[in-house]
Amino acid sequence: MHRLLYLPCVLLAASLGAQTVINPGMTRADVVTALGKPLAERTSGTQTFLFYKNGVEKRVGMNDLVVLESDKVVDAVFRAPSRTYSGKSSSPVEVTAAAARAEGRKARTIRDSSSSAAPAAPKVAAPAKKPGVLPAEDIQQVEVARPIPPAARKDAPTAAPPVDPKASPAPKKVVPATKAPPAKKP
């Protein structure tokens, strides 16, 4: 009885451990034969992108991807442990959480040791700001050249007399208000 259960378990374990290998130059038909129908397919110019479910989408944030150029495999990015690409993948190697934590600790150690060796640089006070003036306006006030008044220029026309800023302005013309039309009753 145990022998009858043993054989199917061995066959199942062998099929689960099998690696599906995608090689550069394979056709779309070869990829579909090896991996099955894609979850989604997108095309841009001569490139076709085949997306496959990998079972680890939540953890890694992406589907497996096969890139075809003119119906030939040129790249593949696999996160499923049962799939591999024999060519050079454009995807960076996956970093485990433990490796990321170790790198973070190493960076903090280096930063902490370098900060304790040298005294902290003195803080320089920011220049005083004028109330209601933005930094860009402040710069413009300093860097903008003022035009030369016409009276000071040598080539200035002399036809118009200079205007006295203290002189009273010309009287304004008063326009009588118009009467509003009566409101319509509904």
Q: In angstroms, rounded to a whole number, what is the distance separating the alpha carbons of residues 30 and 15? A: 20
In a domain? residue 185? no
In a domain? residue 23? yes
Q: Where are the beta strands (DSSP E) in 93-134?
A: none
Instruction: Count structural domains, the chain.
Output: 1
Tell me the average pLDDT across 146-162. 62
Domain that holds residue 91: 13-111
| pLDDT: which is higher, 24 or 80 | 24
Percentage above 90 pLDDT, the chain: 30
In a domain? residue 120? no
pLDDT tens profile 3-24? 444 444 434 444 455 789 999 9
Reply yes or no on whether the pLDDT at 156 is more than 70. no
CATH number of the domain encompassing residue 107: 3.30.1450
Name residues whose C-beta falls within 8 Å of residue 181's C-beta, 6 or more positions apart in sequence: none
In a domain? residue 74? yes
Q: Place 35 in a pLDDT band, splitting at 50, 70 and 90.
A: very high
In a domain? residue 182? no
In a domain? residue 29? yes
79 contacts 89 by C-beta, under 8 angstroms: no
Whether this prediction's pTM lies above 0.75 is answered by: no
